[in-house]
Chains A and B, each alone.
Chain A
Amino acid sequence: MKISDLLQFSASREPGATALVFDDRQLSYQQLYEQVCRLANGLRRIAEPGDRVAILSENCIEYVLAYYGVPLAGMGLVFLNYRLSAREVADILDDSRPTVLITEQAYLETSRTASAGVESIHTMVCVDGSDGGAAGTVPFASLFEGSPTTEPDTSDESLAWLLYTSGTTGKAKGAALSHRNVTTAVCNSAISWDSSEPGPVRSLFPWPLCHIAGYAVLVSHLQAQTLVLMRRYDPEAFLALVQDKRITSITGAPTMLAMLLRHPAIDRYDTSSITRIGYGSAPMPAQVLREAMQRFPSAGFQTGFGMTELGGNVMIHSMADHVAAAQGRTELLESIGKPMALSAVRIVDDDGNDVARNEVGELVVRGEQVLTHYWNRPDATEEALRDGWLHTGDMARCDDAGYFYIVDRKKDMVLSGGENVYSREVEEVLHQHSAVGAAAVVGQPDELWGELVVAVVEPRAGEEPAERDIIEFCTGRLARYKCPRRVMLVDELPRNTVGKVLKRELRAQLGAGAAPAPTPAAPSVDSGSAQS
């Protein structure tokens, strides 16, 4: 099964239904499918099956066309994060060696700079701009001229999507996803997600398509739903679209939802059409859930867990679970739920044996959605894929009722004085401090302790907490060895396009800037002797 078959299925069933809406443009399933076929045929004129085609752009209809059309041409779509610097884009282009780069006016400069040293790229395609596009680029529209609306002959065994994931050290790795990986992830979600909505589903999608979260577009399309795409998330534009299009399904990060609930415009829009709210990236605070349930009384809540390497989600935390959580079992909100129907998930120790209930181990996953390999990185592939299981690098535990909890990223664990400190656990405590807006805990190399627990804090607006206060706050709530030894205050934590804090950047800053801290006479944080 090819990725485009997911779309073709709905085009054969509901050709006239609206598949995609973006600004004032919309495409029916039949139209979208035909455009995808034409794009694939057009790409075949300028590149070969087996090539990579990279895309550097923000959200637009053309991006969705590329999602399906590039793999249909037998080529691998390389997703480029539009927030990367030219140098970082160049690194990815150098690694993936595409022959074609699709971009837009806003990123033309970056594209040109980044592709300067990449000989494989022979064609740059621009999705916007006046006729003729910019000099040296081919207009995206020209790929469609004269291209048939029937599928080219393509195998489903080739590379379909190539997404780069940030590593802790060195360069990002390309997760190579086959047609089977992506279609399995989509089918897994299609059959595992709560789909109890009575009528037609209209989903609003404001998230960057250059992230694996975009697989949700395919899930919507497999089920012949209408997807309303935003170029970028903006709270008021979001609310306006919810009202105008009678959106039934929204997704977001909890912080985004919290901010939306407090947005002055929220009472000016009719949001009664919402029946499903999906979220991810972080756990949902109980208070936010309760407020959201009040504000969106017809909505069910759902979350899960996934990774780029998994082509999407593998865990589901259902609507029923959220109802239970709202009714008092708030600890459930910390959970990522349970494995979905088509994914096998275990928690193992260093020897690959299952850990006991409530014990922490590494989350490992098996299934046909698991990536085939890391591009050009046999070492990383061998390390991550062992005995047929993907080692996610996430530390997790499973409770007696079968609910899974992410305890920490393996790489984010701080090893201090021989003890594992789960950064997330410390962060949760820090978040309870009234002056703390956001916090990230990382390890800083230390000769004596191995690593020091360091808290990097983004204060709440208008607050200027003292380091000592923050440390003291923790000592009452955490074992001594878990408490931060240092607190760094920053204006803003570095984050990626979906809001996740980039800890490797923090580590890089700490590693590069600081000389090894002099050993305190006694490792007693009560005396406030932590160095700053």
Chain B
Amino acid sequence: MLLGDVIDYGARQFPDSDALLFEGSTTTYTQLRRRAGRLAAALSTMAGPGDRVAVLAENRPEFVEAYYGVPMAGMALTFINYRLHPEEIAYILVDSGARVLITEPRYLVPMLELRDRLPELATVICTEDGEPVAGDLGYEQALAQAPPDEPPRGSEDDLAWLIYTSGTTGRPKGAMLTHRNLLTSLTSWMIESAPGIGDTCLMPFPLCHVSGYGVLGYALRGSTLVLRRSFDPEDFLACVERHRVSHTPLAPTMLSMVLAHPAADRYDTSSLQVIAYGGSSMPVEILRRGMARFPSARFNQGFGMTELGGNVLFLDGPTHERAAESAPELLGAAGRPMPLAVVRVVDDAMADVAVGEVGEIVVRGDQVTAGYWRNEQATAEVFAGGWFHTGDMGTVDGEGFVSVVDRKKDMIVTGGENVYSREVEEVLYRHPGVAEVAVVGLPDEKWGENVCAVVVAATDAPPLPEELTELCSRHLASYKKPKVYRFIAELPKNASGKILKRQLREAAQPAAAGNRTTPRTVIT
């Protein structure tokens, strides 16, 4: 089955149901299907099967149309994070060799300026937002001019989505996702956590992030997606109230922001039935506060990666409830394997670790990427031993719950000891003066690395480092306690809310040039 079949299903089963609500405009499933088909037909005049079509835009209906329409043309939808610097975007456009770029007015000019460096890029389509048509042609114009016939059906193993992931080192890599990868991920997700038929849902993640695949699930349920350009905590609350949203995904940092927002209690959010979080580890404190703030909602978690086309571990609603009542350690778990994924936690010899021991989370199944675009070396590295290596360190308990201990690359090695940054963060979160914290390793001649905590204070009176040290010594072995505390107004994050530890590491170097953050550094 192909991505086009998903929207076909939606249009057949729920022809007159609203698929998208966006800034006052409405698109039914029938209309969405038709427009995706028009887009496919239009693209077939500009590029051929196997070509890449990039999208550079915030969330808007045309992006959802492209989710389906580009793969329906046998082409690969290339996701570009709109928050990247033009140089980074240029890198992705060159690396992917995109032949067509679909963008919106806000991002058009920088793209046109790059054109000379992009010989493969033949056509730039710009959405028409009541402004004069720019680029080579307007989006509506392209649809209107499209030939009547849709392109022929492709195959499950054709590349459908090409999503560039920000690496912690080196350049971004394009994770290749076929129709088969995405349909497998979608099926697995639908078995675990489908919205009810006709529910109203949100998609707070940027569509240029793999989490957008949840939108495909909405089509299988005739759900209405209230689409917003980007995430804003108060806007989120207002939408939930206004549209009686019942089902929403959410990143942990988005939840923090909503909870911290002064207007949080002014909105009626009782319509929420399911909050499906994921994207990065959820601090237990934040989850607790979230469960208390949204008592009507069931929380569930999906653990996944771009390379997995979605999620492979699931922590369901009942487990959250059990955890809140009597098994708090489960609140920090990532979950149990989903139906169509095979997940193991292994040591360096690829043997399963014993219960409670730390190993790397590896995955196999039809949803796993075939590899990185034109990067055999990176692909070979990540598939050592025949399994996909997530780069996440974890443990598994006696019931099969996998917990993520740290990103392999975020693990700190100090004085020969492994320190899992997440473990330290969880302790620091317990201090009411800590709104957000990221723990990173700083190079040290003597110790290899020092543990450094970068804190965003909850109020104008930030906690004293001594208090934090004292808190840590009550819960952590001595070598795990941060040696350095820095206080910062805001943690750097990517578009999906993930904290960018690499940037923190770079910024925290005392001798770093161009260091614009002015943290207060306190060394204990």
Q: Residues on A close to B: CB < 8 A?
A: 1, 5-6, 9, 12-13, 187, 190-191, 194-196, 222-223, 318, 320, 338-344, 367-368, 401-402
A191 touches B220 (CB 8 A): yes
A342, B187: Cβ atoms closer than 8 Å: yes
A9 to B314, CA, bound (A): 12
Chain B residues 303-361 with CB under 8 Å of chain A are: 316, 336-337, 339-340
Instruction: Tell me, in angstroms, the Cα distance from A223 to B190 when the chains sit together.
Output: 11
Of B4-12, B103-111, B410-418, B503-511, the one with at least 4 CB within 8 A of chain A = B4-12
Q: What does the 1/0 interface line of B166-191 toward A look like (CB < 8 Å)?
A: 00000000000000000100010011
Q: A191-B190, A191-B194, A196-B196 are in contact. Are A222 and B9 (CB under 8 A)?
A: no
Query: Which residues of the partner chain B approach A9 to less than 8 Å between Cβ atoms?
Result: 337, 339
Distance in angstroms between the alpha carbons of A6 and B187 in the assembled complex: 13
Contact A190 B191 (CB under 8 A): yes
Structural contact, B12 and A402, CB atoms closer than 8 A: yes
Sample of 28 A–B contacts (CB below 8 Å): A1-B339, A5-B339, A6-B339, A9-B339, A12-B337, A13-B316, A187-B339, A187-B340, A190-B190, A190-B191, A191-B191, A191-B194, A191-B220, A194-B197, A196-B196, A222-B191, A320-B197, A340-B9, A341-B1, A341-B5, A341-B6, A341-B220, A342-B187, A343-B1, A344-B1, A344-B5, A367-B1, A401-B15
A187 lies within 8 A of B6 (CB): no
Which chain A positions have C-beta within 8 A of B385? none
- Chain A residues with CB under 8 Å of B183's CB are 342
B400 at the interface (CB under 8 A from A): yes
Which 7 A-B pairs rank lowest in CB-CB distance, beginning with the nearest?
Answer: A191-B190, A9-B339, A402-B12, A338-B12, A187-B187, A341-B9, A12-B400
Tally B residues with Cβ within 8 Å of A. 21
Q: In the bound complex, what is the Cα–Cα distance between A190 and B197 (angstroms)?
A: 14
Roughly how many angstroms separate A12 CA and B316 CA in the complex, as a whole number? Answer: 13
Q: Which residues of B contact A320 (CB under 8 A)?
A: 197
Task: For the complex, give the distance between the alpha carbons of A367 and B6 in Å.
Answer: 13
B230 at the interface (CB under 8 A from A): no
Nearest CB in chain B to that of A14: its residue: B318
| Bound Cα distance A236, B254 (Å) | 56
Among residues of B, the one whose C-beta sits closest to the C-beta of A1 is B340
Cα separation A187 to B183 with both chains bound (whole Å)? 11
B390 within 8 A of A: no
B187 x A191 contact (CB < 8 A): yes
**In this assembly, does B31 line the interface, its C-beta being within 8 Å of a C-beta of chain A?**
no
A339–B6 Cα distance when bound, in Å, is: 11
**Does B296 lie at the interface of the complex (its beta carbon under 8 Å from any beta carbon of A)?**
no
Shortest CB-to-CB span from A389 to chain B, Å, is 11
The listed residue with most B CB atoms (<10 A of its CB), out of A13, A223, A339, is A13
Q: Report the bound CA distance from A341 to B8 in whole Å.
A: 9
* CA A320 to CA B12, docked complex, whole Å: 13
Whole-angstrom CA separation of A187 from B191 in the bound complex? 8
Which residues of B from 181 to 227 have beta carbons under 8 Å from A? 183, 187, 190-191, 194, 196-197, 220
Query: What string of 1s and 0s marks CB contacts (under 8 Å) between B20-50 and chain A?
Result: 0000000000000000000000000000000
Q: In the complex the two chains form, what is the Cα distance from A13 to B191 in whole Å?
A: 13
B13 interface residue (CB < 8 Å to A)? yes
User: What is the chain B residue whose CB lies nearest that of A6?
Assistant: B339
- What residues of chain A lie closer than 8 Å to B196, measured between beta carbons? 196
**Complex contacts, B15 vs chain A, CB 8 Å:** 401-402
Q: Which of A6, A190, A342 contacts B1 (CB 8 A)?
A: A342
In the assembled complex, the CB of A515 is this many whole angstroms from the nearest CB of chain B, namely 51
Given the complex of chains A and B, what is the CA–CA distance between A367 and B220 in angstroms?
17
| CA distance in complex: A339, B194 (Å) | 19
Q: In the complex where A187-B191, A191-B190, A194-B197 touch, is A222 in contact with B339 (Cβ < 8 A)?
A: yes
- A441 CA to B339 CA, complexed, in Å: 46
Residues of B within 8 A of A187 (CB): 187, 191, 339-340
Residues of B within 8 A of A344 (CB): 1, 5
With contact pairs A187-B191, A194-B197, A342-B187 given, residues A12 and B336 touching in the complex (Cβ less than 8 Å): yes
Inter-chain contacts of B13 with A (CB < 8 A): 318, 338
Beyond contacts A1-B340, A402-B12: 20 other A-B pairs, Cβ-Cβ < 8 A, are A6-B339, A12-B336, A12-B400, A187-B187, A187-B191, A191-B191, A195-B194, A196-B196, A222-B191, A223-B191, A338-B12, A339-B9, A340-B9, A341-B6, A341-B9, A341-B220, A342-B1, A342-B187, A344-B1, A401-B15
Kindly state the separation between the CA atoms of A5 and B364 in the bound complex, as whole angstroms: 14
Chain A residues positioned under 8 Å from B9 (CB to CB) = 339-341
Query: Nearest Cβ distance between residue A392 and chain B, in whole angstroms?
Result: 18
CB distance from A19 to the nearest CB of B (A): 16
Chain B residues near A367: list those with CB within 8 A.
Answer: 1
Distance (Å) between the CB of A317 and the closest chain B CB? Answer: 11
Nearest CB to that of A342 among chain B residues? B1
Interface residues of B in 224-239 (CB under 8 A from A): none
Most buried by B among A195, A341, A343, A367: A341
Report yes or no: A339 in contact with B191, Cβ–Cβ below 8 A.
Answer: no
Bound Cα distance A195, B194 (Å): 10
- Residues from chain B with a CB closer than 8 A to the CB of A402 are 12, 15
Instruction: Determine the distance from Cα of A336 to Cα of B483 in the docked complex, in whole angstroms.
Output: 68
Chain A residues lying within 8 Å of B187, measured Cβ to Cβ, are 187, 191, 342
The residue among A187, A338, A340 with the most chain B CB atoms within 10 A of its own CB is A187
Bound complex: CA A170 to CA B229 (Å): 64
Q: Which residue of A lies closest to B188 (CB)?
A: A187
Complex interface: chain B residues within 8 A of A318 (CB) = 13
